[in-house]
Structure 1
Amino acid sequence: MGHLTQRNLNTTRERLRDQVAHHLRAALISGELRPGQVYSAPGLAEDFGISATPVREAMLDLAREGLVEPVRNKGFRVTEVNERDLDQYTEIRTLIEVPMIGRITRSASRQDLEALRPVAEEIVRAARDHDLIGYLDADRQFHLSLLALAGNDRLVETVGDLRKRSRLYGLTALDERDQLLPSAEEHLELLNLMLAGDAEAAEHCMTRHLGHVRSLWAHSTQDHIPAQPSRPLRPATR
């Protein structure tokens, strides 16, 4: 039944909590856990074949990220992201990340920038291999590691939070239409411009990349109908 099928989960409590959170994020990305729907920790725990406690703890982690919200005596509702939210997230990211890319281009060492090439290449590989979780993990690592070169931890935290809240619903549909690869390849283009020391071109590339990502969100929210898992996840009883 998709991302919540039987898992080989580590029994260490802290590790188990992290693993459950990872699989729940995967289910959110694929649309297996649906926006606006309420799910109970005991119900999800039954799907995992574990106790409800680590599932509840994992859901609380996701709630702190803005991915779900607690519903008293029922469970957790998957938060919905509307067009206004996406526009605002993109605007904030543009205000922060575009000028920072220019600054980092002028200040970062070639060695530090080159160290990000394997991550940029991993983004492209994941897109080609239709590895959606790998794609998002590598994409997040690339952008946050790049921003970290500016030396402002709070800035990295802020962008990281925005990225979590603006995750792609229906990423599977975009992948099936081969719309992820062009966005993936822009990471290598950006890195090459920064290595060439062209701050202005790097800023333009970053602006285009964020606009590209925003258009993917638009297609995702407007066109995607979540795929039905082989055995539907059971929402909480209302």
Structure 2
Amino acid sequence: MSSSAGLYLTSWSGLDEYLRARPDLILSIRCPPADKKKLEQLLAKNQSSLACSIDYSEAEKSLAVFVEVPVLDEFAFLDQAAASEREFILACDHVTDTRNLGALARTAAYFGMRYLILPKDRQAPISGATLGTAQGAFAYVQPVLVTNLGRTLNDLKERAYWILAADMDGQPVESLVQDYEKKVLVLGAEDKGVSQGILAKADLTVAIAPAEPKLESLNVSVAAGILIHALHAHSAALKK
């Protein structure tokens, strides 16, 4: 089963992504009359015929798009994950900043990842700020809410997934020698990193080797982009 929430999106680029990928998730659009032509051009560009209402009220000062954000439950997710022959999944270990969460979703979408695993508790919620930073990423990436992240990772391991956790003391990601066709990358909270309990469940830990070590750590969304890109490049190199 899956559930959904409705949130307002206020960016034109975010609307563009929803029109391109999931126009069915757009529930309503409120647009200032001055931007009517801009909206009509965007609809024409994406050849979108929307069933939702469009309000051009003079009271509107900026774009406001009400979108549905479907959330997949862990049981339906595990069934889908088991059926995949090749899958790269991103998981958050209690990331508490809503904008970082949005940036993680955008990074995942850019690299073609379909799922973002989120613990139900002690985790940043998907909010308007998250949607703003994600810039339409949730049209491509489906959030998965889980009660117990450790248990979900164990369930994925039973379904032939490798669990990779980001950790400062991990193996440099560039030095990996094996391809992992079904894998989960776990990233931790901004201040604490991946928790010890989750690290204990990882098949291996991976790190970013700095060119000239000066700062101790990176923003979680920046680290995600570097690690995901490196893992994609690693898989591509092994296929040659």
More helix by share: 1
Query: Is TM > 0.5 for Structure 1 vs Structure 2?
Result: no
Q: Which has the higher strand share?
A: 2
TM-score normalized by the length of structure 1: 0.29
* TM-score, scaled relative to structure 2: 0.29
